[in-house]
Structures are given as C-alpha cells and as structure tokens.
C-alpha cells in the first residue's frame, strides 16, 4: 500500500492529467508547467503506470496537438445514469474496460453489464456495426453460450455478432488483439476463463495499446476468474441486484462497483439497464413484492399474445390485470 | 515373420515375408497350419488401417514427382473371400514430368533410391498403360516398356497380372489359359460368353486398346510453385522465406489469370521421406501476396509446437488448391471497408485457431429455444438477420442472454401441478426464488421424436440473479416426477 501523502499526490496528478486530456480533446493544450514539474519530480515507482501513459506527450512539448482525430478518438458515451456519468465522464471509446463478477454466481450479471456497454458502443457506432465476442471454450461451458434471441431481446443485433471460441487464454488474447486491430468491430468483448497467468499486466497493456491506437473499444469480461492486474481505464465489479419488476422479474439491475477509474473518483451505484431505451438509469424505488413467495405471475407482454391477428396489447384499454390462479 | 488377420472366425496369414515364403508359407494359410509347419513363427496382427494410411502418405510423398498420384487401381487379383494381401500399388502419371528428372529411367532410379533409403522394397514398372505397368511391376521384373512393346512383354506373364479376381483366374487356369499370351489370340466371343467381359477388357486396357480412367488421391492444384534444394533446409525462418517467395510467384500467376486463391497448401518434403502439409483457407478469393503470406504464416505459427524439421526439407511447394474468379476492385477512399476487414479478421484468426471456431449466429425458425439460434462458421455463413422483436416499452427481456448447451439439472421445490419453483439448488448453491413469471409452455416438435413439454419460468432469486428454468413434463400427464432444469441466465 502507498502512504497517504503519496496517494494524495497521485490523486492530484490524476486531476492534472484529466485536465490535460480534456484540453487535448478541445484541441488546445495548456501545459501547466507546475504539473509537469510535479510529475517529473515523482519517483517512477510512485506513479501508477496509467498516469504515465495518460499524459499526452505533445503536452510536454508545449506545442499544439498534431493529431486532428484526437478529439473524435477520445469521445465518451454517456451511460444515462447521472451519478455514474459525473464520476466517469461516460464510457470511454478507444480504450479497454474491465468487467468482472463480484462472485462466481454473478457471471451472468457481469455478462449483462458488459453487453450493455457493448450496446452503448454499438448504438453510437450505428446499427449495422459488427461486434465481436471472443470467449474461452470453458467460459461458454460454464456460463452458457451467447443466445441469439436473448441478445436481440437485450437490444443487441445477434446477426452482426462474430463469435470466436478459443481453446485457451493465449488464443483468446490473440483473437482479441486481431479483433481490436481489425477496425471492423464497434465493440469487442474479451472473455477469458479462469485465473490464467498469461492474462497478466503485459497482456492487458497490449490490449489497451491496440484499443488506443485502433479506435476500437474492448471490454474485458473476466467470467469465473479472480480479477488480476489490469491496465484498463475502468474496472467494474458487478453483482446482481433485485429488479424492479413487482412480482415478476423486471429489467436487469446491476450493483456496479467502480473499483478503478483513471479519470475520476471511484464509487458504487445501482444501475438499471433499459433494454427498450438502450440506456442505463438509476433504478426507481422498488415496489414491495406483495405476498410471500413467488406465486405464478402469468406471462407479460408479447409472449401472452398468442393470436396472430390481434396486437399484443389492446390499445388504450388501460392496465391488463393478470389472471391469478389462486 | 507373418502378419495375420481374422477372417470368418479363423485366423489366417495375411502377409508373409521372404523368409516365410522360402519355408513354404503363403497368404491365406490358417495360422494353426502355419504354426505346425514352422514352430518358431513370429506372428503379428495385420493392421489394414495403418497400411492404408501409410500408403496414403506414400502417395502424397510421390507428388514430388507428379501431381497425378493415386492408389486403388481397380480390381486386383485378390480373393473376395479373404481380401489379403491388399493392393499395395501406387499409380503415378509421369507424362510430361519425367524430363524434369532426366528421363523416365532416371526418375524411377531416383524414386527407388529414396524409397530404399526408407527400407521399403519397391518394384517400379513404367509403361504407356496402367495395366501394363502394373503387370510389369507386380509380376514381371519391373523396368520400362516402350510404347508398342506391351504385347510381347505381357505375353509371358501369369493371368493374375491382368488384375482379375481370383475366381476368374482359377476358371481360366482350369481350361488351360494360364498366361496372358494365351488370351491374346484366342477367339473373343466364346471367351466373353464363358468368363464374362472382365478378362478381355483388362487385356485391352493393358495393351492400350481400351481407355482406363484413374483418379489421383489429391485433387490437382490449379496453381503450384515448387522449389528443391540440394542442401536440405531446416530452420523455420528459411522455410518461411521460401514459402514467401513461392507465394509471390503464385500471386503473379493468379493476377494474370484474373483469379484469387481460396485455399492454400504448403507441402514440406522431409529428407527422410515424411511429408507435412500446412493448409489454410481464405473466405474470399485473394491474390495479394501479403494476405496469402500472412494467412499461411499464421497457420505455420500455430503448428510451430509440433513442427519437426528433422534432418531438413529438400522440397517445398505451395499450391493453390482452390481458386475462383476475382475481378479487380476499386479501392475505396471513404474509409475502412468493414466487409473486407471482417473477412481478413476471419481468415487471420481462423488460420491461427481453426476456421470452425470463428462463427456467426444464425436464426432458425423453431420454437424450441436451443434450436432457434445456431452458430455457423463465419466463412460459410451468409448474412441473415434475426426477426425483429417488438419489445414493449419497459418490458424486460424474455429470453436469456446466455444459454447452456445442455440444460443443467437442478433440485427444485415447486408447487404441483404447474407452479413456479420456490427454491432450487443449482451448482451446490441454494437459491430462494423471490420473483417468477410463467409458465411459458413449449411443447416438443411432434414431427420429430416425442419430447416432453417444457414449462419455462423466468425466476429471480433473493440476491437478484435471474434464471430461465423449465419443468420437463406435464405433471400427471407426461410424468409424475417432473424434473427441473436451468436452461439459461438472464443479465
């Protein structure tokens, strides 16, 4: 652990770096000489590697940023959840994000959160954008294979998915690197399985660098593994949270713990994914589930409308009262 | 030494070596008889599959002489009752290739030398018909026949050399027709009436009066480039460099023909006779040398662990085994071409980890959940969209994002006859169900086999984990003890 004063210093440096990044996004650079000197004075091992990388080199030269694309590259997409957006500035594109479940049974929730992030990215990239899901064979066996109709219901286009099944972590990383470099994919989900020594900081940094250079966004989904070192810009630990559905399961709600954030504070929030709006939001106060125990709530929505010649819900007829068997 | 094979519950000799022949043993003899004649017999079991595999390898190896190398040359003089010894013949069509080796005799000598170095006994016959060459190699003394010499050369050989089945040979022998020459000048009609058409057809084929088709084992590559070395090369970098230069040569030829490669094969002939193939496929015709090099090298990389150069390779070929028309393209300046980028990605990753592992999801019209979506290899999949789901505002997803290939059996407590689960135990963890929705009843497809009806429930446990579960079988209609399964996971 770092001493508290060095933690403070790093926090200060992060702020400076974030300032520089923002300036770079606007195309103007105001290199704060104090900050630069401050950074130069810190022993290297005291600075998080992220802090070194985040400082744009051109800022140190004090000149204008040469890369005209810099602004477009670093755009961030709003999550739709005000507090999360305030803390993170949105989901950063052209970067690597790290999503892991809080415990083994939360792997579906972690998958859901990663897919929701992919959904945000794909919505921004356009409906026709391809997306890639590279996963270890074992992950598919343990947590289930991607299911087309389910992905469609979640708001993603399964016909635009390229799914790669790799035998081991080395192949997962190889395919992921190709995918990030390919410039064909709006989002790249990388799902290795288990605690593998090959998924070390170096491998992670390679992915980050490729994502950075190729304008692709990677989401590292660590199903069923102990979260290892990461160089991702954000790291999320996701656990499941009860939904707001009343007596039937509602829209997915995640208890998201932002354990690492290169651009701002960390924190923990409840986030609800709205499949119809393709956006997160803060879950509303949960209506109490009446009665004890899960009594059969009949099907809602589309599935109940079995007849082909009628709309799934009568227009303007008010609430549909479910038929109760008891 | 003898090799045995079991036939009709009797163990018989399948192959015998030279020494055994001198002791009077021959294929077809019962093992007990053979043991009685030669007490100290070395007996091993024959392995026809291994023999066939070896012959296939040898046949591929022989491609260093000609692309037209095949096995199976039709009927051979084997007894259908006891199909041993099998046909150990390879056929090479060396027309147009011999001059590369300094003539037909030089080619045969080179081949014999290389095969003998591998401890193989070979007999090589060269003739203008397959029948004559086979007869010469298998029953004569080998060597080379000029066109027109067949008649004289074959006349003295036994009837079996015509590749007739054993019963026909026996029947011919019984009437005194033992040598091929006996057939040549006889009256044809009575022979055909008595022994069928086979003897005369085979004779005509051997003499070049009738055509005989022959199919090479591997399809002939439309484009092929090859390089031979006096000193074998062993280092991987060298192999790579050679492959690259060969691909460069192929690319030019493809360009000239207006075609693109779909499948590439790199063949490496090792000095000691082993042959290694490295194959790679492309999902769209390509003739850019860089792309082809890239794919082949990735494939080579992935084989690097079991890449055994041994004493080195003395011949390297790169063949385009599948090509198709490809017209020149207009370069787009608008930005990256997603479709092109995708095919490149599919090829690269496919070459590295296997083409079948890069897949696209395809919708299949079925109400059985696991059949509704299937993964097909990306290089054969055509784009087909899933039917649009009309999501109602605020409605949660009805289908899980992840589906288990095999539904997982759980212990569940549920109210009968068709209540949702109240509590269940999945992967050794007990889940208390707090919310449930269902049942969504999905019956099996009656036009397939009878499958029990499934009642699907979306359930959420106390921690907020959401599952897609079903009860298999209708209570007291299909089963009295319905089983519960977890089929998928919701986000």
pLDDT in tens, B100-115: 888 888 888 888 888 8
Cross-chain residue pair B389–A242, CB shorter than 8 Å:
no
- When pLDDT is averaged across residues B425-441 and rounded to a whole number, the result is 90
Same domain, A53 and A86: no
B298, B335, B353, B432: best mutation site toward chain A, by most A Cβ within 10 Å?
A: B353
B239-to-A109, B63, B242, B315 alpha-carbon distances in Å: 48, 19, 5, 10
Same domain, A176 and A214: yes
What pLDDT is recorded for position B323?
82
C-alpha B196, offset from chain centre: 36
A141, A149, A167, A188: best mutation site toward chain B, by most B Cβ within 10 Å?
A: A149
Q: Are B279 and B299 in contact (CB under 8 A)?
A: yes
Q: Which residues of A touch B375 (CB under 8 A)?
A: 145, 163
Average pLDDT, chain B: 82
Cross-chain residue pair A251–B385, CB shorter than 8 Å:
no
Report which of A294, A280, A310, A311 is spatially closest to residue A113, judged by C-alpha positions. A280
B416-to-B316, B478, B481 alpha-carbon distances in Å: 71, 13, 10
What pLDDT is recorded for position A32?
44
Report which of A218, A267, A220, A285 is spatially closest to residue A82, judged by C-alpha positions. A267
Q: How far is B400 from chain A (nearest CA, A)?
A: 5
Q: Which residues of A touch B294 (CB under 8 A)?
A: none
Cross-chain residue pair A111–B401, CB shorter than 8 Å:
yes
Same domain, A169 and A36: no
Q: Which residues of A touch B385 (CB under 8 A)?
A: 157, 159
Report which of B440, B368, B355 is spatially closest to residue B407, judged by C-alpha positions. B368
Q: How far is B489 from chain A (nearest CA, A)?
A: 6
Phi, psi of B479 (to 5 degrees): -155, 155
pLDDT mean by block of 10 residues, chain A; 326 residues: 64 76 53 44 42 39 35 71 89 91 90 93 84 92 90 89 91 91 89 82 89 84 79 92 83 92 89 87 67 54 47 46 54
Asked if the structure places residue A227 within a domain, the reply is: yes
Same domain, A86 and A61: no
Of A143, A251, A303, the CB nearest to B489: A143
Report how far residue B197's alpha carbon sits from residue A108's, in angstroms, rounded to the nearest whole number: 71
With a CB cutoff of 8 Å and minimum separation 6, the contacts of B220 are: B67, B68
Cross-chain residue pair A175–B338, CB shorter than 8 Å:
no
Q: How far is A289 from chain B (nearest CA, A)?
A: 8
Q: What percentage of chain B's residues is helix, strand, coil (to nearest 5)? A: 35, 30, 40
Of B375, B389, B396, the CB nearest to A152: B389
- pLDDT exceeds cutoff 90 at B154: no
For residue A161, the chain B residue with the least C-alpha distance is B360
Cross-chain residue pair A184–B345, CB shorter than 8 Å:
yes
Beta bridge partners of B441: B455
Q: Are A57 and A70 in contact (CB under 8 A)?
A: no
Three-state secondary structure call for residue A96: strand
Locate the domains of chain B by residue range.
Answer: 1-46, 54-207, 223-333, 402-489
What's the total number of domains in chain A?
Answer: 2
Which value, to the nearest 10 degrees, does the dihedral of the CA atoms of residues B101, B107, B112, B113 take? -20
What pLDDT is recorded for position B457?
92
Q: How far is A116 from chain B (nearest CA, A)?
A: 9
A111: left (phi over 0), alpha (psi -120 to 50) or beta: alpha
Same domain, A45 and A83: no
A298: left (phi over 0), alpha (psi -120 to 50) or beta: beta
Overall fold of domain B223-333:
Dna Ligase; domain 1 (3.30.1490)
With a CB cutoff of 8 Å and minimum separation 6, the contacts of B207 are: B129, B131, B132, B150, B151, B154
What pLDDT is recorded for position A70?
38
Cross-chain residue pair A249–B396, CB shorter than 8 Å:
yes
What pLDDT is recorded for position B213?
76
> Whats the size of chain A, residue-wise?
326
Same domain, A58 and A151: no
Cross-chain residue pair A243–B434, CB shorter than 8 Å:
no
Beta bridge partners of B125: B143
Same domain, A224 and A133: yes
- When pLDDT is averaged across residues B233-246 and rounded to a whole number, the result is 85
With a CB cutoff of 8 Å and minimum separation 6, the contacts of B255 are: B287
Cross-chain residue pair B385–A116, CB shorter than 8 Å:
no
Cross-chain residue pair B398–A106, CB shorter than 8 Å:
no
Q: Are B172 and B195 in contact (CB under 8 A)?
A: yes
Q: Are B70 and B219 in contact (CB under 8 A)?
A: no
With a CB cutoff of 8 Å and minimum separation 6, the contacts of A202 are: none
Q: Which residues of B touch A240 (CB under 8 A)?
A: 463-466
Cross-chain residue pair B463–A294, CB shorter than 8 Å:
no
Token pair belonging to B477:
């209609």
pLDDT tens-digit series, residues B45-102: 888 788 888 888 888 888 888 888 887 655 444 455 555 556 678 888 888 888 888 8
Q: What angle do CA B131, B137, B141 make, to 5 degrees?
A: 130
pLDDT tens-digit series, residues B306-327: 667 778 888 888 888 888 887 6
Report how far residue B314's alpha carbon sits from residue B102's, in angstroms, rounded to the nearest whole number: 18
What pLDDT is recorded for position A51?
40
B11-to-B7, B17, B78 alpha-carbon distances in Å: 6, 17, 18
Same domain, A9 and A113: no
Of A108, A151, A157, the CB nearest to B465: A108
Asked if the structure places residue A236 within a domain, the reply is: yes
Q: Which residues of A touch B351 (CB under 8 A)?
A: none
Check residues B245 and B167 and name the one with the higher pLDDT: B245
Cross-chain residue pair B361–A161, CB shorter than 8 Å:
yes
Q: What percentage of chain A's residues is helix, strand, coil (to nearest 5)? A: 40, 20, 40
Report how far residue B12's alpha carbon sits from residue B437's, in angstroms, rounded to the nearest whole number: 69
Specify the CATH number for the domain of residue A149. Answer: 3.40.50.300
For residue A105, the chain B residue with the least C-alpha distance is B465
What pLDDT is recorded for position A322?
56
Report which of A53, A48, A49, A54 is spatially closest to residue A22, judged by C-alpha positions. A54
Of B378, B401, B462, the CB nearest to A150: B401
Most confident of A58-67, B191-200, B332-341: B191-200
Confidence category of residue B132, pLDDT binned at 50, 70, 90: confident
Q: Which residues of B touch A111 (CB under 8 A)?
A: 401-402, 489, 491
> What does the DSSP assignment read for B442-488?
E---TTSS----EEEEEEEETT--EEEEEEES-BTTTBSS-EEEEEE
First vs last C-alpha separation in chain A: 59
Report how far residue B397's alpha carbon sits from residue A272's, in angstroms, rounded to the nearest whole number: 13
A244, A249, A312: best mutation site toward chain B, by most B Cβ within 10 Å?
A: A249
- When pLDDT is averaged across residues B462-488 and rounded to a whole number, the result is 89
pLDDT tens-digit series, residues B34-49: 888 888 888 888 887 8
Query: In terms of residue numbers, what domain contains A33?
Result: 4-72
Asked if the structure places residue A42 within a domain, the reply is: yes
What pLDDT is recorded for position A109?
93
Percent of chain B at pLDDT exceeding 70:
92
Asked if the structure places residue A323 within a domain, the reply is: no
Q: Which residues of A touch B402 (CB under 8 A)?
A: 108, 111, 143-147, 150
Domain boundary among A23, A45, A72: A72
What number of C-beta contacts closer than 8 Å exist between A and B?
A: 271
Asked if the structure places residue A136 within a domain, the reply is: yes
Q: How far is B366 from chain A (nearest CA, A)?
A: 11
Q: How far is B407 from chain A (nearest CA, A)?
A: 10
B446: left (phi over 0), alpha (psi -120 to 50) or beta: alpha
Beta bridge partners of B488: B403, B468
B304, B339, B343, B437: best mutation site toward chain A, by most A Cβ within 10 Å?
A: B437
What pLDDT is recorded for position A299?
63
Asked if the structure places residue A116 within a domain, the reply is: yes
Q: How far is B246 from chain A (nearest CA, A)?
A: 26
Cβ-count burial of B52 within 10 angstroms (0-12 exposed, 13-18 middle, 19+ buried)?
A: middle
A72, A137, A148: best mutation site toward chain B, by most B Cβ within 10 Å?
A: A148
Same domain, A111 and A165: yes
Q: Which residues of A touch B346 (CB under 8 A)?
A: 162
């Amino acid at each position: 652990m770092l001493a508290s004063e060095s933690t403070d210093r790093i926090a200060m440096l992060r702020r400076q770096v974030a300032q520089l990044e923002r300036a770079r996004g606007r195309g103007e650079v105001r290199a704060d000489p104090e900050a630069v000197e401050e950074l130069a004075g810190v022993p290297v091992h005291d600075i998080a590697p992220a802090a070194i990388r985040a400082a744009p080199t051109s800022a140190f030269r004090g000149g204008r940023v040469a890369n005209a694309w810099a602004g477009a590259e670093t755009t961030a997409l709003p999550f739709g959840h005000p507090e999360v957006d305030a803390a993170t500035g949105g989901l950063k594109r052209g970067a690597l994000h790290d999503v892991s479940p809080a415990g083994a049974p939360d792997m579906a929730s972690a998958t859901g959160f990663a897919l929701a992030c992919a959904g945000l990215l794909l919505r921004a990239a356009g409906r026709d954008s391809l997306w890639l899901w590279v996963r270890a064979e074992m992950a598919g066996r343990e947590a289930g294979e991607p299911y087309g109709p389910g992905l469609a219901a979640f708001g993603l286009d399964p016909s635009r998915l390229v799914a790669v099944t790799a035998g081991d972590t080395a192949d997962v990383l190889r395919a992921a690197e190709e995918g990030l470099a390919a410039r064909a994919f709006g989002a790249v989900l990388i799902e290795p399985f288990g605690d593998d020594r090959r998924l070390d900081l170096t491998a992670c940094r390679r992915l980050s660098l490729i994502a950075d250079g190729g304008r692709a966004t990677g989401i590292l989904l660590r199903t069923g593994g102990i979260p290892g070192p990461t160089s991702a810009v954000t790291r999320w630990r996701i656990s499941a949270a009860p939904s707001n559905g009343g007596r039937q399961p509602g829209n997915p709600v995640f208890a998201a713990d932002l354990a690492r954030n290169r651009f701002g504070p960390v924190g923990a929030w409840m986030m609800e994914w709205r499949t119809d709006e393709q956006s997160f939001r803060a879950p509303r106060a949960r209506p109490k589930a009446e009665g004890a125990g899960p009594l059969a709530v009949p099907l809602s929505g589309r599935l109940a409308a079995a007849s082909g010649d009628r709309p799934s819900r009568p227009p303007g007829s008010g609430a549909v009262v479910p038929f109760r068997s008891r | 030494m003898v090799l045995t094979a079991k036939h009709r519950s009797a163990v018989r000799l399948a192959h015998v070596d030279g020494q055994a022949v001198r002791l009077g043993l021959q294929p077809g003899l019962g093992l007990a008889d053979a043991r009685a004649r030669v007490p100290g017999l070395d007996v091993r079991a024959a392995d026809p599959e291994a023999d066939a595999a070896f012959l296939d390898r040898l046949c591929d190896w022989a491609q260093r002489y000609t692309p037209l190398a095949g096995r199976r040359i039709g009927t051979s003089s084997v007894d259908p009752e006891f199909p041993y010894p099998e046909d150990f013949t390879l056929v090479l069509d060396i027309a147009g290739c011999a001059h590369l080796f300094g003539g037909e005799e030089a080619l045969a000598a080179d081949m014999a030398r290389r095969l003998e170095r591998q401890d193989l006994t070979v007999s090589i016959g060269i003739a203008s018909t397959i029948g004559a060459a086979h007869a010469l190699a298998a029953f004569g003394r080998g060597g080379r026949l000029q066109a027109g010499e067949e008649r004289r050369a074959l006349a003295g050989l036994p009837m079996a050399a015509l590749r007739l089945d054993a019963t026909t040979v026996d029947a011919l022998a019984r009437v005194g027709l033992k040598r091929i020459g006996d057939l040549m000048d006889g009256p044809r009609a009575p022979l055909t009436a008595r022994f069928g058409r086979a003897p005369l057809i085979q004779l005509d084929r051997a003499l070049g009066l009738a055509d005989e088709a022959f199919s090479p084992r591997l399809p002939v590559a439309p484009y092929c480039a090859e390089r031979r070395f006096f000193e074998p090369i062993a280092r991987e970098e060298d192999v790579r460099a050679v492959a690259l230069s060969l691909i460069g040569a192929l690319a030019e030829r493809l360009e000239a023909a207006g075609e693109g490669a779909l499948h590439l094969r790199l063949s490496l002939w090792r000095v000691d006779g082993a042959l290694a193939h490295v194959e790679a496929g492309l999902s769209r015709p390509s003739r850019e040398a860089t792309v082809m090099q890239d794919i082949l090298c990735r494939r080579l990389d992935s084989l690097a662990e079991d890449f055994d150069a041994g004493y080195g390779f003395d011949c390297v070929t790169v063949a385009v085994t599948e090509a198709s028309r490809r017209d020149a393209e207009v370069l787009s300046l608008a930005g990256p071409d997603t479709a092109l980028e995708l095919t490149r990605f599919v090829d690269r990753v496919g070459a590295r980890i296997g083409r079948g592992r890069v897949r696209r999801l395809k919708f299949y019209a079925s109400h059985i959940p696991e059949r509704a979506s299937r993964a097909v290899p990306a290089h054969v999949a055509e784009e087909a969209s899933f039917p649009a789901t009309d999501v109602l505002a605020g409605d949660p997803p009805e289908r899980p994002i992840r589906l288990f290939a095999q539904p997982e059996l759980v212990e569940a407590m549920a109210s009968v006859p068709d209540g949702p689960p109240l509590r269940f135990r999945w992967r050794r963890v007990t889940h208390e169900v707090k919310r449930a929705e269902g049942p969504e009843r999905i019956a099996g497809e009656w036009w397939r086999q009878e499958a029990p009806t499934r009642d699907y429930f979306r359930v959420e446990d106390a921690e907020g984990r959401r599952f897609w579960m079903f009860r298999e079988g209708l209570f007291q209609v299909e089963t009295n003890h319905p089983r519960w399964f977890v089929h998928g996971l919701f986000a």
